[in-house]
Amino acid sequence: MKRFKFATSQEAWEGINEWLLLNEKTILKKYGGRYGPEIVAYNVFMEIDNPRVDPKFDFGYTFGYKSQKWNSLLNNYLDRNYLDLVRNEIVTREAKNANSYSYTLHFRNIHTSGKDCLISLTFTRRVTDERPVAIFHVRASEVTKRLLFDFLLVQRVLQFIYGKKWKQVKLEFYCPGCYITAENIAMYNNHRSLKKLLKGVKKKGTFQKRVMTIYKRFKNEKDPSNVPYKVNRRSVMQIQHDEKGWPISGIPSLFAKDLKIVQEREIEYPDDCITEKDRRAHRRKLKKG
C-alpha cells in the first residue's frame, strides 16, 4: 500500500497527480503498472487533515465543466433522504458527546455511466481520537478530472452533516486503483506547468514521454476534429487558449465555492412527491416560479 499524508483535499489531489506523473519508474517497480495511455498505482491510502477544496478552484477553466456536471454527480450518487437519515443519527450522537460511533453513507449509482466508482463514506468517532474521521472508499479513480470533484462532494456532505464543526473532521481515502491518462493529465497544465514539473526528471519514462507528446499535439492541433474520440477533443479545446488566455472551448468559470448540496430538508414537498425523480421535478417547478 502506498500511503500519503496531506494538509487538505486540494493538496491531496495535486499530490497524487504529480506523484503518478513524476515517479514512473518507482511505480512500475513497486506500486502498479503502465497500460497503454495510462499509469496506475494500486492500494492508495491518503490521510487528509482538512478535507477542503480551494473555493477559488475553477472547474470551468481547468476542465471545461459546467454546473450540469455537478448536478449529475449529486443526482447519481446521493440519495437525499438517506443522507438526511445519516445526518440525524450523527447529529444526535454528537449532541450527546458520544466518544464512539460509526455510520456509513453508501453511494448509489443510478446511471450506468457512473460505473459505481464511489462506494461509501463512513463517519466514525474513535475512542483513541478526539476528532471525527470520515473514511472515503472508492472502486477506482481517474484522479486528474474526477478526484477533486469527488473530494468536493465529500466536503459538501461533511458540511451538511457536521455544520460549522466540519473542519474538525479528518478524511481517510482508500482506492484500490488510482490512475492518470496522458490525454487527461494534459489538462493539468491549466493548473500547473507540465514542462516545469517534468523538468527535474532526467531520464523520462515511456509514459512521461507520451504525456508531453500528447500535450504538444493537443496544444498545436489546428483542427480539433482531427483528434479521435470526443473526450480527447474536449481536452484540446481546454488546452488551447484564445488571445485573452481563456480556453477556446469558451466554457465560463465554475468555482468550487458555488457548487453546493441543496438542503432538501428546507423544502416542503407535496405528500405524493416521494421519489427522487418526483422531487427533482418539484424543484425545477419551484425554480421556474
Q: For residue 111, what pLDDT is reported?
A: 66
> Percent of the chain, pLDDT > 70?
94
Mean pLDDT of 22-43: 95
Nearest Cα neighbor of 157 from 79, 237, 235 is: 79
Average pLDDT estimate for 194-222: 95
155 C-beta neighbours (distance < 10 Å), count? 26
In a domain, 276, yes or no: no
Q: Tell me how far apart the alpha carbons of residues 119 and 222 are, in angstroms, rounded to a whole number.
A: 41
DSSP letters spanning 104-120: EEE----SGGGTT-EEE
Largest CA distance in the chain: 66
Residue 288 lies in a domain: no
Alpha-carbon gap, residue 197 to 180, rounded angstroms: 15
For residue 245, tell me if it sits in a domain. Answer: yes
Residue closest to 214 by CA, chosen among 186, 248, 247:
186
Residue 116 pLDDT greater than 90, yes or no = no
Q: Domain for residue 167, yes or no?
A: yes
C-alpha cell at position 158: 461533511
Pair 273, 279: CB distance under 8 Å: yes
H/E segment holding residue 176: strand 170-181
Do the Cβ atoms of 184 and 144 come closer than 8 Å?
yes
Contact present, 27 and 39 (Cβ < 8 Å): yes
The residues, any chain, with a CB within 8 Å of residue 28's CB and separated by 6 or more, are 34, 205
Range of 33's domain?
2-257
Would 137 be classed as within a structural domain?
yes
User: Which strand (E) or helix (H) includes residue 3?
Assistant: strand 2-8
Domain of 128, CATH number, reads 3.30.572
Q: What is the pLDDT of residues 235-288, one digit of tens each?
A: 999 999 999 999 999 999 999 999 998 654 456 667 677 566 777 788 788 777
Of 128 and 266, the structure prediction assigns the larger pLDDT to 128
State the total domains in the chain.
1
